[in-house]
Amino acid sequence: MKSALERRRVTFLRGYRAEWIALLFLLAKGYRPLAWRYSASGGEIDLIVMRGSTIAFVEVKARGAIEDALSAITARKRQRFSRAVRAWLSRNAWAEGKTWRADAVFIAPRRWPQHIVSAFELEMR
C-alpha cells in the first residue's frame, strides 16, 4: 500500500506530465505560451497561452476517462481559477484589449488530448 506522500508524488507527476502534453498540443495548434502554473489569490492556472488577440487561460485535467476530466472542473474550481485570472490580468495591463477565455485540455490514456474552447465562463466580478 502506498503512503500518502507517495500518492501525492504520483499525482503531482501525472499532473506535471499532463500539463506538458497539453502545452505541446497547444503549441502545435499555434498557441504561444505566456505562463505555466500561475498561482495567485488562492487559485492556480495551469497554462496561459495566446493566439492572435486571444488569451486562453487553460485548465488541464488528466483522468482515466475524458468524461471524468470534464466533471472535475467544479464550481469551486471555477471560482478559484477566475480569481487567479483576475490577479494575472491586474498584473498584465497590456492584456486589457485582448479577448479572454477559459479553455480546458483533457488528457486520458491512449487518447489524443481534447481541447475545449471556452469550456466555462470566467467570473470577472
Nearest to 52 by CA among 101, 98, 107, 112: 98
Average pLDDT of the residues in 77-88 = 96
In the structure grid, which three cell numbers stand for residue 16, read together?
506535471
The answer to which of 7-16, 26-35, 50-59, 77-86 has the lowest mean pLDDT is 7-16
In degrees, rounded to 5, the angle at the alpha carbon of residue 46 between the alpha carbons of residues 8 and 73 is: 80
Residue with cell 481534447: 114
Residue type, 83: R
What confidence tens digit (pLDDT) does each residue in 37-80 have?
999 989 999 999 999 999 999 999 988 776 666 777 889 999 99
Distance of alpha carbon 25 from alpha carbon 18, whole angstroms: 10
**Per-residue model confidence (pLDDT) at position 44:** 95
Distance of alpha carbon 65 from alpha carbon 110, whole angstroms: 10
Could you give the domains of the chain? 4-120 (3.40.1350.10)
Distance of alpha carbon 101 from alpha carbon 125, whole angstroms: 15
